[in-house]
Amino acid sequence: MENECTWMVGLDFYSSDQLTGDAVFDLLETLGNYAPSAACEPGSTQGSVTLRVIDVEPTGAIRQAHHLLEQALGMTLQLYSVEATEWHEASRRLAEPTYPPVVSNAEIARMAHVSRQRVGQLTRSHTFPKPVIETEHTKLYRKDAVERWLETRQTKPGRPLASSVEEAKAPALSDYATEPVIRVAPALDQESTDAQQSAEACL
């Protein structure tokens, strides 16, 4: 049929009877051609199932998925939430990372234009976002939380990065006087005076 589309249909439902582990297993096996996934707690009358179905419109896809689900479970289901998404869009969403971007101390230093030592001080602040991943060797923070904190913080900026500080140049030899300077302690006797005169005669 023309204009048919593949849909990913999610159904949240209440069942007329309690769900058992065997019933959920049979459901997944029976609807294997529809790429099923289920979240149902045994002994409960509430569950969620996602199916892949083909239909022209999303409403038709939802009706079809509802009918398939009731047949597979052999009981009446009352839907309280439904969603139908075109398959390629659903696949794109599934491919997106489910965890937000995170940053390390080195990346925070670049974001804040401060040294890593200063980042260590900032992260110890009670207002700084808590790490979302912490291992023996590193801590990672949500990037968006760090960005918001940097935008709103009222503290003074930290020490600039080493690359932004112009290093002082060592004085060149030409900067020194070309003629040596001889300093002699005040003469205490004639020998000291004679020694100073001899040194000056050598220049």
Does 53 or 164 have the greater pLDDT score? 53
Which residues, other chains included, contact 155 with Cβ-Cβ below 8 Å and sequence gap of 6+?
Answer: 125
Q: What are the start-end ranges of the E strands in the chain?
A: 5-15, 37-40, 46-55, 77-86, 102-103, 133-134, 139-142
- Per residue in 60-111, pLDDT (tens digit) is 999 999 999 999 999 999 999 999 999 888 888 877 777 788 999 999 999 9
The whole-model pTM stands at 0.49
> What is d(CA 77, CA 47) in angstroms, rounded to the nearest whole number?
10
**pLDDT band, residue 51 (cuts 50/70/90):** very high
Residue pair 40/24 in contact by the 8 Å Cβ criterion? yes
> What is d(CA 123, CA 121) in angstroms, rounded to the nearest whole number?
6
Does 176 or 119 have the greater pLDDT score? 119
> What is d(CA 3, CA 25) in angstroms, rounded to the nearest whole number?
33
Residue pair 87/20 in contact by the 8 Å Cβ criterion? no
> What secondary structure does DSSP assign to 145-161, as a single string?
HHHHHHHH--SPP-PPP
Q: Report how far Cα 112 is from the mean position of its chain's Cα atoms.
A: 16
> What is d(CA 31, CA 53) in angstroms, rounded to the nearest whole number?
11
